[in-house]
Every structure is written in C-alpha cells, then in structure tokens.
Amino acid sequence: MAAFVKSFSCYRSFSPISKRCITPSTTTIAAKHRCTFTQNDENYDIIITGGGMVGTTLACAIANNRRLECRRILLLEGGKKVEYKPQEQYSNRVVALNQQTRTLLSSIGAWQHIEAIRYCPVRKMQVWDACSDAMIEFNEDHLSEEIAYIVENNLLLHAVNKQVAEKENVTIVYDSKVDNIKLPEVQGGDAKIQLQNGKRYKTKLLVGADGANSLVRQSMGVQYVKWDYSQLGIVATLMLSEPTENIVAWQRFLPTGPIALLPLTDSLSSLVWSLPTNEAKRLLKVSEEEFVDSVNNALWKLYPKDGIVESGLRALQQLLKGLSLRTGVARQLQPSISAIAEGSRAAFPLQFGHSVSYVGTGTVLVGDAAHRVHPLAGQGVNLGFGDVTVLVQLLAEGAINGASLGDMMYLRKYETLRQRYNVPTMLAIDALHRLYKGTAAPIVLARSLGLQLTNAIPLVKKALIQHASGQEVSR
C-alpha cells in the first residue's frame, strides 16, 4: 500500500508546515518512483480545501495511486489539529459506511486502523411505518453478510489522517482559514488561494471539499439548489435495556420524522432522530429520564390504524399470496432503551443542497460541497466517498493519457458519472422524507402498499441494497 519505503535512517528535522520528517534519503526514494519534489511551498499540483473525512481521504487516495503519486498535494484544514485518543465512551457522531466506502478505505490502508480499534457491522435492517403495519427487512436471508459498518466520525478521520501522514507528497496546513480564491479563466491556468494569514498558493487543480458552505463553490459562481427541512437531527449514545446480538439497524417512520437506532455494541446503540426544530430543542433540555421515555415512546407507541389502509394491505396480501410471492416477514421486536450516555445528546440542522455543476475551469467539488441530503438513508458521507473513488479513477486515467490535471474532458466526465448516481439517490431520499410526513389515509395507503410490494419482490430489494452499497458508484 505505502508508496515509499519506511526502513531507512532518519535525521529528524521537521518542516514547520507539514510537521513531517525530512531525511537525506528522500531524494533517493523519490527517484526510485520517478518523482521529483521541490521545496517550493507556493506551487502545488493539487490543492484540497477541507481536511474532513472526505477531503483527507481524497488526498490519501490520490497519493496512494501509482499514476498520481508524483503529484504534490496541499491539504488545507481550517481547524486546528486534533489528536485522537481512544475512549471507552463512544462518540455521538457516527456514520454508516457501505461496502464501496469500506473498499476505498481498505485500498488506502485506513480500514486496518479502524479494525484495530472498533466498529460494528450491520447485517440486517428493519424499517417500518408507525401509521400502518407495513414494514420491510433487508438481508434477512443472508445474516452472515455485512451490509454496512457503523464507525465513529472521529475514529474514521483518525484512520485516514494516520495514512496520509505517511505520504511524502502530501503537505497538510492546519488552522488555514481561506480568505480569497481566484479561479483560472482559461484551461491550463492556475487557481490561486490566499489565507487569512497572508500565505498564498497556486495550483492546476483546486478541489473543494470544504463542506456545505463551500467557499470554493461560491467562487465558482454556480447555482446551488437548497432548502431547509425545518428539522434537527438529534444524536446520542443509548444503552439498551438488555444485552443482545446487536447487528440490526432499526428505523421507524413517524409523522414527525424518522427515528433510527444503529448498533455499536451488544449493549449500546447510536440514535439519529429527525424532529421539528422546536420539539428537538425541547428534548435537548429535558432530563435524561424524560428523554429516554420519549425515545421509547417513539419506538413503541401504537398509532391508530385507518380502516381503508388496513383493507388495502389485506387485499395486497391476498394478491401476493396468489402470485406465490412473500406475503409478510417474521417481525423482530426492536430493543428498548434504559439510559443515555452522559453528555452525548446533540443536534444538527437538516437540509437539502445540490450544486448544479460540480466542476469549473481547474476546479472540482466533492462531498458536502457538492451535495447534502437528509440522513434518513445514511447515504450522505457515502456519496462523498463515491465522489472520491470516481475522481481518483478519472485523474489517473487522464495521467495515463497525458492529460493535464485540470483537463475539462475528465472533469466533465466525473461530473456526469457522479450526478447520474447522486441526483436520483438524493431525490429518492427527499421524496421518502416528504411521503412519510403525510398522515392522510390515501398517502399512508400508497406508501404502505409500496413498502409491502417492495418487500415481496427479492429482485427489487436486492437492487436497492446494491445501490445503497455503492456498487453502481463507478463506471
């Protein structure tokens, strides 16, 4: 995996910017890989703004690619460097990584660091509607297979940071607040960045991985479609009433928004609960006992069933039975909650956002800078990692064919491939959110029939799982 040999003596002097060991043998090693590195801090082949999970993974993936390992990369992170310290208590911010993301992290050597500390596999999903008896299960017949992996955000960032630190052609500048960006007017020109401290850089390819309020995207002047869901996503670490084989991701659609439990250990789960802003703020302030009661109520409360909906579901069951299709599932009861980890309650605003264009002259967007979705499907960060996979593939393809880093043909191809995947996924997630907000009988009936029909057709379920796992992420 590593692009450079580690077993050589090291005279320890450190660059004030990269904090990286500079050795007399670096030139020899670079020559072996036909790479030439200069000490010009002003010019870089690629500059990535945003040192979060997606931006740091991109820097590492580019440096790890044998077609791109000679490129000098600058990673600008606006925050201060944070040292990761494993703690017994889990972080309240976790992500559900799909198979494609795990493959990416394994390819750059980061997954081994996650495995060495902790993660939890998800082998089954159960989704059900609070307003009817409709439900769907995923992977119930293949419990040995892993459909997702629950990893804490700070652990994932630690893993990719540990790998990128080994890349001699990556320089990281922390506490680097970008003050001004000037994009090239013609292909082949330089993008220029100035930091608030006056430091200036230029590059042939500028990558915006700087989040939903991306300054790179604003500098591109592209249209950004967005709306607010008027909801907050409450997160917390919850203790289960009794230990269990915790391999199931649970999600219940409530009239106020979905609530989800993601497995951490046999006795802990992570909560992601979407609620109207005012109600979410109230629950952040109530006592721990009242909060736990509210979570259990959200998971277990019985809502009145509409006769029209019940009749429609019974008719569908008879039809499915006549077609020899699955007519139901052996429902597994969701766990109850006994307590909340101290200090783990927090919330974040839920929004939709999508950049009409992902690329510009010498510029490209990845992750939240390009798109932002509701967390109900757990796809947000996976879409960003999908961007990384495709972008690195196309930059490497361009290098093989002698194209410049900012060649618009390859950048446009990246945009096309990613929007073909991202846009339908995002619109489907948004439609689900809106569909499950409705409580009128016709709406409840329509979504319940759709859920039961999907559950009855194995090929449809398999296609959904494959899409969610990112298997369509590349060409």
Tokens for 21, please give them: 């060991």
- pLDDT at residue number 30: 35
- pLDDT at residue number 144: 76
Q: How many residues does the chain have?
A: 475
The model's pLDDT over 87-112, given as tens digits with 9 standing for 90+, comes to 899 999 999 999 999 999 999 999 99
- pLDDT at residue number 10: 33
Tokens for 347, please give them: 């919330």
Give CA–CA dist 157/347, Å, rounded: 20
- Per-residue confidence band for 266, with pLDDT thresholds at 50, 70 and 90: very high
Give CA–CA dist 6/25, Å, rounded: 11
Measure Cα distances from 340 to 84, 287, 290 in Å. Answer: 23, 10, 11
pTM score, whole prediction: 0.88
In this model, does residue 473 exceed pLDDT 60?
no
DSSP string, 391-410: HHHHHHHHHHTT--TT-HHH
More confident residue, 259 or 460: 259
- pLDDT at residue number 437: 87
The model's pLDDT over 72-83, given as tens digits with 9 standing for 90+, comes to 999 999 999 988
- pLDDT at residue number 19: 35
Give CA–CA dist 139/56, Å, rounded: 32
Number of other residues whose CB lies within 10 A of the CB of residue 195: 17
More confident residue, 473 or 291: 291
Neighbouring C-alpha atoms within 13 Å toward the C-beta of 51: 26
Give CA–CA dist 164/418, Å, rounded: 25
Q: 250 has which bridge partners?
A: 126, 261
Tokens for 362, please give them: 């010498």
Mean pLDDT of the chain: 87
Mind listing the domains of the chain with CATH numbers? 42-469 (3.50.50.60)
In this model, does residue 434 exceed pLDDT 70?
yes
The model's pLDDT over 198-245, given as tens digits with 9 standing for 90+, comes to 999 999 999 999 999 999 999 999 999 999 999 999 999 999 999 999
DSSP string, 219-280: HHT--EEEEEEEEEEEEEEEEESS-----EEEEEEETTEEEEEEE-SSSEEEEEEEEEHHHH
- pLDDT at residue number 42: 86
Rounded to an integer, the average pLDDT of 446-463 is: 84
The model's pLDDT over 138-174, given as tens digits with 9 standing for 90+, comes to 887 777 789 999 999 999 999 999 999 999 999 999 9
- pLDDT at residue number 372: 97
Rounded to an integer, the average pLDDT of 382-399 is: 97
- Give the percent of the chain with pLDDT over 90: 70
Neighbouring C-alpha atoms within 13 Å toward the C-beta of 64: 24
Residue pair 246/269 in contact by the 8 Å Cβ criterion: yes
Contacts by residues 318-321 (CB-CB < 8 Å, ≥ 24 positions apart): 320/452, 320/453, 320/456
- pLDDT at residue number 259: 97
- pLDDT at residue number 472: 57
Of the given ranges (3-12, 316-325, 357-366), which has the lowest mean pLDDT? 3-12
- Per-residue confidence band for 366, with pLDDT thresholds at 50, 70 and 90: very high
